[in-house]
A = this chain, B = another copy of it.
Amino acid sequence: MSARVLIVDDVPANVRLLQALLEAEYFEVFTAMNGSEALDAVQRVKPDIMLLDVMMPDMSGFEVCRRIKSNPHTRYLPIIMITALDQPEDRIKGFQAGADDYLVKPIDEAALLTRLRALVRFKFLLDELESSIGDELLLDTRLESEEERPARLALLLNREGRDQRLIDWLRGRHNVRLFEDPVMLLDQVRHGTVDMVMLELPLKGHDALRICSQIRSLENGRQLPVILLMEDGHQKELLHALEICASDYLLKPVSLEELEARIRIQLRRWRYIQRLRENVRQSVTYAMVDPLTGLYNRRYMNTHGRAMVEEAGQRGKALSVLVMDLDYFKKVNDTWGHDAGDEVLREVAARLKKQLRRLDVICRIGGEEFAVLLPGADVRMAQQVAERLRRAVAGQPVKITTDDGELDLHITISIGLASFEKKEDTLESLLKRADEALYTAKQQGRNRVVRQKAA
């Protein structure tokens, strides 16, 4: 993995040291010597991650970090603060400014590279999701995802020496669930009902790292924030944990201020990813579905239907197509208004859908026009289905609501049918024949099924 790293430090020797380390690992390195250069470079070189010194002449690293994190366009750029300031207050200040990590000099190289790689992986995932959603919806999605609300925290702690103060504090802010059994915790993660996990390390009677990596091997657990609570002095285990699974860690006794800042950072990321996914999925669904009837739309028909016809052709399987149209629908709209017309369309759509199998595809392809693809159905079978659809509509009146109360309308449909007959048949040729058949059905008096053979 390679990435674009921006190093910000006012001491040239420090810059050179980090630069040499990162270039040896084949990262692309950019540098800035003070805060305003840094803000400028963020716009210009678009780094994937930033290593930021705190004490600089023009502007403190805290201020640089705050500015980047308060700008919705750059908010999710990962920032690791690297500083000689080793007091707890400084760490907390760093996290409150929005830093993703805070490392004290002299730098442990392995620790830096581990954290850097993890944050870059996260950044790449965001890039992928953000490029799916496009610029238009990106800022909206960011704003939507940043509401602060209680999260569902799952805790797995040692029974002995429990920090009740910590638990009470969390309970005052979040929905906390204490687990004894890792299997039950994993089950919750699997079902997507957890927003964050806190694990104590070491965990008596269990391998905490195993649990952590099991969380990661679940689809819902891959990006889930997992925070370790541990004692100082387990540097090697910690590194391993951060490498394979942990999102973050806190040393015991836990500072509640630091905990608050770290939880906020983790939750913000998690919620943003969730929100991006949700918006992309919604868009994809929305792009295939007719909002009025809930049936698939013409676009879906054209892409998916084409694949279905090709497959039938290649495998020599039967397939039929129906195109249907409500009879005298304009009269409904003109007499009873568009709302009544919409009611009729929804009811007819529901009746048609109910008559079909799961693998059949029904689409609304125009105002009052529907199409159905029947994979595996030969002419005879398709004729039966079409007849059943016709009766499902004509068989009982459709109720609409008017200003004078409910009203029964007698609605019928005409159906054109075409079956896959020859190797050259395509979705287009089938739809064309079915359309011609539909025209004949209309000519012959409507409320009927007509089939059109290939020429």
The residues in A between 110 and 156 inclusive whose CB is less than 8 angstroms from any CB of B are 124-125, 127-129, 131-134, 136-137, 139-140, 143-144
Q: Which of B48, B128, B307 contacts A143 (CB 8 A)?
A: B307
Cβ B134 vs Cβ A285 within 8 A: yes
Cβ B307 vs Cβ A2 within 8 A: no
Q: Knowing A2-B244, A128-B129, A280-B132 touch, does A304 contact B143 (C-beta < 8 A)?
A: no
B residues near A26, Cβ cutoff 8 Å: 209-210, 212-213, 244-245
Closest 6 CB pairs of A and B: A2-B213, A26-B213, A2-B216, A283-B287, A286-B287, A283-B284
Q: Knowing A25-B244, A283-B284 touch, does A143 contact B217 (C-beta < 8 A)?
A: no
B residues near A132, Cβ cutoff 8 Å: 129, 132, 277, 280-281, 284
Chain copies in complex: 2
Cβ A213 vs Cβ B283 within 8 A: no
* Residue A428 interfacial (CB < 8 Å): no
Cβ B216 vs Cβ A1 within 8 A: yes
The residues in A between 131 and 188 inclusive whose CB is less than 8 angstroms from any CB of B are 131-134, 136-137, 139-140, 143-144
Task: Assign chain A's interface to a size class.
Answer: 35 or more
B residues near A303, Cβ cutoff 8 Å: 137, 140
Closest to A133 in B: B284
* Residue A10 interfacial (CB < 8 Å): no
* Residue A288 interfacial (CB < 8 Å): yes
The residues in A between 265 and 287 inclusive whose CB is less than 8 angstroms from any CB of B are 277, 280-287
* Residue A329 interfacial (CB < 8 Å): no
Pairs across A and B, CB under 8 Å, 13 listed: A1-B216, A2-B213, A26-B213, A26-B245, A27-B217, A28-B217, A128-B128, A132-B284, A134-B285, A136-B304, A139-B307, A140-B306, A280-B280
Residue from A4, A137, A286, A287 whose CB has the most chain B CB atoms within 10 Å:
A287
Q: Which of B27, B128, B212, B288 contacts A283 (CB 8 A)?
A: B288
Bound-state Cα–Cα, A286 to B289, Å: 11
Given A2-B245, A140-B306, A286-B287, 17 new contacts (CB under 8 A): A1-B216, A1-B245, A4-B217, A26-B213, A26-B244, A28-B214, A28-B217, A48-B217, A128-B128, A128-B129, A132-B281, A132-B284, A139-B307, A140-B307, A144-B307, A283-B284, A284-B287
The residues in A between 286 and 313 inclusive whose CB is less than 8 angstroms from any CB of B are 286-288, 299-300, 303-304, 306-307, 310
B residues near A55, Cβ cutoff 8 Å: none
* Residue A219 interfacial (CB < 8 Å): yes
B residues near A282, Cβ cutoff 8 Å: 287
* Residue A3 interfacial (CB < 8 Å): yes
How far is the CB of A175 from the nearest CB of chain B, in Å?
Answer: 26
Bound-state Cα–Cα, A303 to B139, Å: 11
Closest to A303 in B: B140
B residues near A306, Cβ cutoff 8 Å: 140
Cβ A137 vs Cβ B214 within 8 A: no
Bound-state Cα–Cα, A269 to B219, Å: 21
**CB 8 Å contact bits of A3-32 with B (1 = contact, 0 = none):** 110000000000000000000011110000
Bound-state Cα–Cα, A183 to B31, Å: 21
